[in-house]
Structure 1
Amino acid sequence: MIRITRPGGRVAILEFSRPTGRILGRAYLAFFKRILPRVGQAISPNASNAYGYLPASVLEFPDGQAMLDLMAARGLSDCSGTPMTLGIATLYIGTKPVLAASGPKAEGGHGVA
């Protein structure tokens, strides 16, 4: 995503995350592991594992500081994460840095910077 973002542009990622509270965290995992796959199967009976992949995917996806570190390692700056809906989702935002102009093009030439 950073490759196609203009310098100074922002990257926003809205992703499922794991609630940190003990009670909500347990309820969330129970819903994700037991109820959501059944709902998916009811909605898409022809799909062999409808929504069965989602719990494993969410549990393996980096969240919190790990996600912010990954964004920074990929070149984004001013990275932040805002938990939403009691921590069930998080909005991550980072900015692609503005690079200083250099080379012949920056000096009025036609070269590649």
Structure 2
Amino acid sequence: MPETAWQAPQLATNPHECSDKAARVKAMFAAIAKSYDLNNRVHSFGLDQRWRRATVRIAKVMATDDVVDVACGTGDLAEAFLCAGVRSVRGVDFTPEMLEVAREKSERTRPNATLRVEYKEGDATALDLPDACADIVSIAFGIRNVGNTPQALREFFRILRPNGRLVILEFAQPSNPIIRAANRFYTHRIMPSTATWLSRDKSGAYRYLPRSVETYLDRDALAQEVRGAGFVDVTQKTLTFGTCAVTRAIKR
């Protein structure tokens, strides 16, 4: 994989149709792991953590819940679930560099914790976990990046227990045309340049980001894919003027 994971030819079309999308995504996250949290806070104006806390609330956690956070990255959502008082949390990601940041951050921010997130390397489309091992499966800003969305959703269904909950936090296209235009200007014209500068990134990550959002499934199509994997009671809640949304579903 070249140093630049995403170049103009891939982004001129649909990056989700690249046959080596998974390898490109992995290389991209390896390149930006160290600056990932900083860019998230700066370019979401601090809202990204609020979105994650909203996702935890929407999951309706209980003290007996075992959580698997897929595409956990640097661990922000996994740690939010842990702070909510669940029984256990496992964070799974296929980029070792992101997991390294997650583990370091956990040890630094919770040095005396008796319960920690268990971080492990793994692929969303082929989880090395037993059937029916989780009460909640979560994924934040990751479903768009997996190599095969239907296969990942089937894996989520497989590892959930009956009555388990799936929660997906992902960027969305605002329905209000004025907000949509403003959001597009920011994500296409401003954020790619400032985020690339801040991270000194050469992978193309922050030019891939807006392109991957606009070419991915819209909310209705994602809900349909979730139902197609066997889930029921699919609901969606938009956040911050529709710039992102949480999809929640149940395994019966």
Which bracket does the TM-score occupy, shorter chain normalised? 0.7 to 0.9
Deviation at 1:7, TM superposition (A): 1.3
Paired residue for 1:56?
Answer: 211
Paired residue for 2:125?
Answer: none
- Tell whether 2:183 aligns with 1:28: yes
In structure 2, list runs of 5 or more residues that go unmatched: 1-155
- Alignment root-mean-square deviation, CA: 1.1
1:30 and 1:90 map into 2 onto residues whose CA distance is: 20
Secondary structure of 2:218's counterpart equals: coil
Secondary structure of 1:57's counterpart equals: helix
* 8 Å CA contact retained: 1:44, 1:50: no
- Tell whether 2:5 aligns with 1:5: no
The structure showing larger relative contact order (alpha-carbon pairs under 8 Å, at least 6 residues apart) is 1
Deviation at 1:60, TM superposition (A): 1.7
* 8 Å CA contact retained: 1:83, 1:90: yes
Paired residue for 1:89?
Answer: 244
Paired residue for 2:171?
Answer: 16
TM-score by length of 2: 0.37
* 8 Å CA contact retained: 1:19, 1:25: yes
Paired residue for 2:221?
Answer: 66
TM-score by length of 1: 0.80
1:39 and 1:6 map into 2 onto residues whose CA distance is: 43
1:34 and 1:86 map into 2 onto residues whose CA distance is: 19
1:20-70 deviations in Å (ceiling 9; x for gaps): 111100011111111111121111114241311101111122122111111
Which structure has the bigger radius of gyration? 1
1:42-99 deviations in Å (ceiling 9; x for gaps): 11114241311101111122122111111101110000110111000100000011xx
Paired residue for 1:43?
Answer: 198
1:19 and 1:46 map into 2 onto residues whose CA distance is: 28
Change in 2 beyond 3 A, CA 1:46/1:70:
closer
Paired residue for 1:75?
Answer: 230
Paired residue for 1:110?
Answer: none
Total equivalences in the alignment: 97
- Which consecutive segments of 4 or more residues in structure 1 shift more than 6 A? none
